[in-house]
Chains A and B, each alone.
Chain A
Amino acid sequence: MKIKVLYLASLRERLGKAGEDLEISPATSTVAGLRTLLIARGGNWQTTLAQGNALRVAVNQEMAQPTTPVKPGDEIAFFPPVTGG
């Protein structure tokens, strides 16, 4: 299935990428699954997205949990904890 992935703020800088369109297996059905898939790329991906790193994920611009489903056409954004205000 096709999804859109965004990397924001410090994640964008560390990964050297603002986002990408991905074609992933329907077996990757959750946020946690997608994160594991990206970590498996190794290198910067592994160190930046490693489990235990504080990061937040939004699915279709709503805050998401590791168990949040990922569906075709979704926009999934990875970003660090927010620091506005």
Chain B
Amino acid sequence: MPVRIQTKDFDAGAEIAALRRDNPKVGAVASFIGVCRDANDGTAVTKMTLEHYPGMTEKALEKIVSEAKRRWDVMDVLVIHRVGELKPAEQIVLVVVTGAHRGEAFAACEFIMDYLKTRAPFWKKEETPQGTRWVEARSSDDEAAQRWEPPKSSAA
């Protein structure tokens, strides 16, 4: 399964090793790990709860992975996203892409994260000294995802 939603932590090293399987055709492994920070928008964050839409989440992520594989010449992709309660410094998300060359692997990895942030149904709720609050979506995330849209002229 290239896509996993889980409450437990992950071991990035073990996951990368499992994805590579010592395949000598793999010349590049690009990975990204998203981590829970102890502050957001100038306010301390003591805990975070991640909610998702079971069923749709998996479908949305699988669609993003398929799109990445369609756009770039990469071999294998793994996405792990945690849900439930997380504390600062805990890992939230892992994306690993293997391929023959780094350029395609880097691009596919960044594309998957940008699309995940704007299209996969996850929501963060933060616990702060002032109480709990839902994290607001950022326009900078939309802009990051839009970089990957085809130019308007060729969209039709």
How far apart sit A83 and B50, CA to CA, in the bound complex (Å)?
9
Q: Decide yes or no: A58 and B134 within 8 Å by CB, A82-B122, A84-B117, A85-B92 being known contacts.
A: no
Residue of A nearest to B117 (CB): A85
Q: B49: shortest Cβ distance to chain A, in Å? A: 10
How far apart sit A63 and B118, CA to CA, in the bound complex (Å)?
11
Give the total of B residues in contact with A, Cβ under 8 Å.
27
How far apart sit A80 and B136, CA to CA, in the bound complex (Å)?
9
Q: B142: shortest Cβ distance to chain A, in Å? A: 8
Whether B134 and A10, one on each chain, are in contact in the complex, defined by CB atoms closer than 8 angstroms, is yes
What size tier do the contact residues of chain A reach? 10 to 19
Q: Indicate with 1 or 0, residue by residue over A1-42, a CB within 8 angstroms of chain B CB atoms.
A: 000001011100000000000000000000000000000000
Whether B120 and A82, one on each chain, are in contact in the complex, defined by CB atoms closer than 8 angstroms, is yes
For chain B, what secondary structure do more than half of its interface residues adopt (helix, strand, loop), or is it mixed?
mixed
Q: Decide yes or no: A85 and B123 within 8 Å by CB, A10-B134, A54-B137, A62-B59 being known contacts.
A: no
**Cβ < 8 Å to A, chain B residues 99-141:** 113, 116-125, 134-137
Q: Decide yes or no: A82 and B117 within 8 Å by CB, A10-B123, A61-B53 being known contacts.
A: yes
Whether A63 and B119, one on each chain, are in contact in the complex, defined by CB atoms closer than 8 angstroms, is yes
Which of chain A's residues have a CB closer than 8 A to the CB of B135?
Answer: 83
Q: A10: shortest Cβ distance to chain B, in Å? A: 4
Most B CB contacts (10 A, CB to CB) among A58, A80, A81, A83 go to A83
Q: A residues engaging B (CB < 8 A)?
A: 6, 8-10, 54, 58, 61-63, 77, 79-85
Q: B residues engaging A (CB < 8 A)?
A: 34, 50-53, 55-56, 59-60, 81, 92-93, 113, 116-125, 134-137
